[in-house]
Chains A and B, each alone.
Chain A
């Protein structure tokens, strides 16, 4: 849905062909959501079928050029004036993994959390490195900067949630009722789940 709307929005600037649309999309979003040109042309064909764009024939170099129709403009405007729906939460592998890690016996949840925290932090460091270079204020540079910020905030939220999970598990481990492990037959003692607290065997942090 978002590719379709993004292409329509790009066509608001004037008629374009597929390669141009792909280049302009990636100019704003980097390689975050790669588009192949086949996907662009399939989407354009569907948009044409539904009356949101019209083909303008081939240009001098033989590229098939498309323009947005009135109906297409209305569609773009409706897209911008309504929120992205928050319906069913998307299936979130990490949340599912942790939910199972705390409730299946023999899993070291502390290690699961720390391993994820390190991986997400490495990603966050990469995004931040890109962000340090992305300081321009031209519209397409701003667009890319905002996409990066979105990646940064999402990674940050994940790490905060992991910190929160760890703190909750620690509190649960200190709870005498849970220690005696009579709450649920299925729930292994939380205490044992935080034993290691980390993944590295060595405490040496030199290079």
Chain B
């Protein structure tokens, strides 16, 4: 199995001397193609730091971060930005859509920034919107959509161009329970189709959509829960 995301002995220290805070301490972590991994922990446990490092938005104090085999640390700012447009999709709690752009324009943006022609980018964006079930809302602006619909646009933006690593930071935090579940279903489907996903959440019910759940405390991985056994014992016989 291929590891799409690899963190090797990653430590991240913020501040210096007296104000020094270790956000992550010697963490080794993998997300493989086709799996969704949830990272759980209380606030301050380092789960968001882990995600920003994985997304190349921040660099570790020591240790290595590789995405699809490429060492993000060796890339430099520009290279990391290119990586984010082509390999890494980020989904945020508050959607982070650009209000002045329609749904399809928001989704097409990473492709266009990456040098794709307007038409090709739009085509890819439309197909991503179809995949998340809102192809008919392509021309709407973010403020003309519900929270759940906006998050679908954000997911389309994260998967457009066949990016193979999806990083989601509390993606259901602003949504009601049923809508949140729809969003998890979409992320799950993308992982079942071969992407690697990392889901940061403090809600056990959402983490349970993952194949593995990694528990962080004070910047350290303390445990992992993953059951590979498909337990159909409870299911009604049909």
Chain A bound to chain B: yes
Chain A interfacial residues counted at CB < 8 A:
44
A205 to B205, CA, bound (A): 21
Stretch of A36-44, A48-56, A180-188, A195-203 on the interface side: A195-203
Per-position binary interface string of chain B over residues 19-38, scored 1 when its CB falls under 8 Å from any chain A CB and 0 otherwise: 00000001111101000000
Does B15 belong to the interface (CB within 8 Å)?
no
A165 to B185, CA, bound (A): 31
Does A150 belong to the interface (CB within 8 Å)?
no
Per-position binary interface string of chain A over residues 111-130, scored 1 when its CB falls under 8 Å from any chain B CB and 0 otherwise: 00010011111101111111
A167 to B205, CA, bound (A): 19
Whether B30 lies near A132 (C-beta < 8 A) is no
CB contacts under 8 Å to A, within B206-238, are 207-215, 217-218, 220-227, 230-237
Closest A residue, CB atoms, query B214: A205
Q: Tell me whether A126 and B218 are in contact in the complex, defined as CB-CB below 8 angstroms, given that A121-B204, A205-B28 are known contacts.
A: no
Closest A residue, CB atoms, query B230: A129
Closest A residue, CB atoms, query B202: A163
Stretch of A1-9, A10-18, A25-33, A58-66 on the interface side: A25-33
Does A207 belong to the interface (CB within 8 Å)?
yes
A114, A127, A156, A203, most chain B CB atoms within 10 A: A203
Q: Which residues of B contact A207 (CB under 8 A)?
A: 1, 30, 32
Does B42 belong to the interface (CB within 8 Å)?
yes
Q: Which residues of B contact A129 (CB under 8 A)?
A: 230-231
Whether B223 lies near A117 (C-beta < 8 A) is yes
A132 to B181, CA, bound (A): 10
Does B152 belong to the interface (CB within 8 Å)?
no
Q: Which residues of B contact A71 (CB under 8 A)?
A: none
Whether B217 lies near A26 (C-beta < 8 A) is no
Q: Looking at the complex, which one of B1, B27, B209, B218 makes contact with A197 (CB distance below 8 Å)?
A: B218
Closest CB of chain A to B207's CB: distance in Å? 7
Q: Tell me whether A205 and B204 are in contact in the complex, defined as CB-CB below 8 angstroms, given that A121-B213, A132-B185, A198-B215 are known contacts.
A: no
Does A159 belong to the interface (CB within 8 Å)?
yes
Q: Looking at the complex, which one of B29, B30, B204, B230 makes contact with A159 (CB distance below 8 Å)?
A: B204
Whether A206 lies near B28 (C-beta < 8 A) is yes
CB contacts under 8 Å to B, within A74-122, are 114, 117-122
Closest B residue, CB atoms, query A147: B234
Whether A121 lies near B225 (C-beta < 8 A) is yes
Per-position binary interface string of chain B over residues 187-205, scored 1 when its CB falls under 8 Å from any chain A CB and 0 otherwise: 0100000000000001111
Closest CB of chain A to B186's CB: distance in Å? 12
Q: Which residues of B contact A124 (CB under 8 A)?
A: 204-205, 207-208
Q: Looking at the complex, which one of A29, A133, A156 makes contact with B204 (CB distance below 8 Å)?
A: A156
Closest CB of chain B to A36's CB: distance in Å? 15
Whether A121 lies near B205 (C-beta < 8 A) is no
Whether B204 lies near A155 (C-beta < 8 A) is yes
Does A160 belong to the interface (CB within 8 Å)?
yes
Whether B236 lies near A144 (C-beta < 8 A) is yes
Q: Tell me whether A125 and B210 are in contact in the complex, defined as CB-CB below 8 angstroms, given that A152-B205, A167-B42 are known contacts.
A: yes
Closest CB of chain B to A207's CB: distance in Å? 7
Closest CB of chain B to A143's CB: distance in Å? 9
Q: Which residues of A contact B188 (CB under 8 A)?
A: 132
A125 to B210, CA, bound (A): 7
A128 to B185, CA, bound (A): 11
Q: Looking at the complex, which one of B28, B203, B231, B237 makes contact with A126 (CB distance below 8 Å)?
A: B231
Q: Tell me whether A114 and B236 are in contact in the complex, defined as CB-CB below 8 angstroms, given that A125-B225, A129-B230, A199-B222 are known contacts.
A: no
Q: Which residues of B contact A128 (CB under 8 A)?
A: 205, 208-209
A124 to B212, CA, bound (A): 12
Closest CB of chain B to A174's CB: distance in Å? 13
Interface residues in chain B, defined as those with a beta carbon under 8 Å from any beta carbon in chain A: 1, 3, 26-30, 32, 42, 185, 188, 202-205, 207-215, 217-218, 220-227, 230-237
Interface residues in chain A, defined as those with a beta carbon under 8 Å from any beta carbon in chain B: 26-32, 114, 117-122, 124-130, 132-134, 140, 144, 152-153, 155-156, 159-160, 163, 166-167, 197-200, 203-207
- 8 smallest CB-CB distances across A and B, nearest first, come from A198-B222, A159-B204, A124-B208, A128-B208, A118-B225, A121-B225, A126-B231, A156-B205
